[in-house]
């Protein structure tokens, strides 16, 4: 350890849109640096995580900071946070991380919760950790309720938008923007082509996902600027949205994934008729390797796997 007192600063926000208030990343850093300056502590490095929940068991910057702080080099004396809820919102993480720091003779300092190292202070930090975890748990419950209500009202809950669609704001409730899916016609045309090739191919024979991907790439089509592969073609052919609805599986108040009966059906614009999607599923199921050998599925022979010779020992004509 070099001379002088040294510290790491850790910053975390779940959503960095607070506009400079005490929860924002910039405000946290300013408060932490001010404390270090008052106490004559040099800041070695700032670890910042944006849009990361304090309930996560693994956080890249947090884990790297703890590993460095407790390494044999002992680069710092302190880890400084704005408040303990920024450090973590999980009791287990706080207890184990703080224990590692203590073993390495590194002290955790909170700008807001200014406490000593006596037993009463350690007990109070434990109470604060419990309350932080309870707050995070309640917030998660409220979020799930809001998401389920959002889905029941027919709105999009976010996440990767399926190829062929785009999300747009359909309604504004205060600061909350309610979105729905709308057809993106250029992509929708490719979706229709993929389904047509899966049903009829180019000559009336259904094409597999790899053959479809090759055809699309050879003819200048792209998957939002990227090449088509077996995986994204397969995703298109199994996407339930195209038939006009999808199932929202937001967890319930107890954190459980809903059963099939409790899933919320959300209506969205239809790109492919439901009976056509059912036909695609049937064709793909029949062509699955466990049902039909690949040598038959991929055979160039029109009636391969269907027409057979009546003589067991017959020699093929070709």
State the Cα–Cα distance between residues 199 and 20, nearest whole angstrom.
55
Q: What is the pLDDT of residues 265-307, one digit of tens each?
A: 999 999 999 999 999 999 998 866 554 445 444 555 544 555 5
State the Cα–Cα distance between residues 101 and 119, nearest whole angstrom.
17
**DSSP letter, residue 262:** G
Q: Tokens 């492919």, residue?
A: 272
- Element counts in the chain: helices (H) and strands (E): 10, 8
Is pTM beyond 0.85? Reply is no
CA angle 264, 266, 269 (to 5 degrees): 165
The whole-number pLDDT of residue 11 equals: 95
127 pLDDT higher than 80:
no
Percent of the chain residues topping a pLDDT of 90: 55
Closest CA to 42 of 33, 51, 52, 30: 33
Architecture of domain 5-114: 3-Layer(aba) Sandwich (3.40)
Q: How many other CB atoms are found less than 10 A from the CB of residue 239?
A: 18
Sign of CA dihedral 17, 23, 27, 32: negative
**DSSP run (H or E) holding 247:** strand 245-248
State the Cα–Cα distance between residues 188 and 165, nearest whole angstrom.
7
Q: What is the pLDDT of residues 236-256, one digit of tens each?
A: 999 999 999 999 988 776 677
């Amino acid at each position: 350890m070099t001379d002088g007192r040294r510290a790491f600063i850790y910053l975390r926000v779940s959503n960095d849109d607070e506009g400079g208030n005490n929860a924002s990343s910039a405000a946290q850093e300013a408060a932490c640096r001010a404390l270090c300056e008052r106490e004559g502590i040099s800041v070695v490095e700032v670890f910042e995580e944006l849009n990361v929940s304090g309930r996560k068991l693994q956080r890249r910057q947090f884990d790297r900071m703890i590993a460095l702080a407790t390494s044999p080099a002992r680069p710092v004396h302190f880890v400084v946070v704005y408040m303990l809820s920024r450090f973590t919102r999980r009791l287990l993480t706080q207890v184990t991380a703080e224990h590692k720091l203590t073993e390495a003779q590194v002290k955790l300092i909170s700008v807001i919760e200014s406490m000593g190292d006596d037993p009463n202070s350690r007990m109070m930090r434990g109470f604060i950790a419990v309350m932080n975890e309870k707050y995070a748990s309640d917030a998660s419950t409220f979020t799930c309720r809001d998401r389920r209500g959002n889905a029941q009202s027919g709105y999009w809950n976010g996440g990767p938008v399926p190829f062929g669609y785009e999300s747009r704001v359909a309604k504004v409730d205060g600061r909350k923007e309610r979105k729905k899916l709308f057809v993106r016609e250029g992509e929708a045309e490719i979706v229709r082509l993929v389904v047509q090739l899966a049903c009829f191919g180019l000559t009336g024979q259904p094409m597999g996902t790899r053959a479809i991907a090759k055809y699309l790439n050879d003819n200048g089509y792209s998957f939002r600027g990227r090449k088509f592969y077996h995986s994204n073609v397969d995703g298109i052919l199994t996407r339930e949205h195209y038939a006009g609805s999808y199932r929202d599986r937001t967890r319930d108040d107890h954190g459980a994934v809903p059963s099939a009966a409790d899933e919320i059906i959300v209506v969205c614009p239809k790109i492919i008729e439901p009976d056509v999607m059912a036909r695609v599923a049937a064709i793909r199921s029949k062509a699955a390797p466990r049902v039909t050998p690949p040598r038959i599925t991929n055979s160039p022979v029109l009636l391969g796997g269907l027409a057979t010779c009546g003589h067991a020992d017959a020699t093929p004509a070709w």
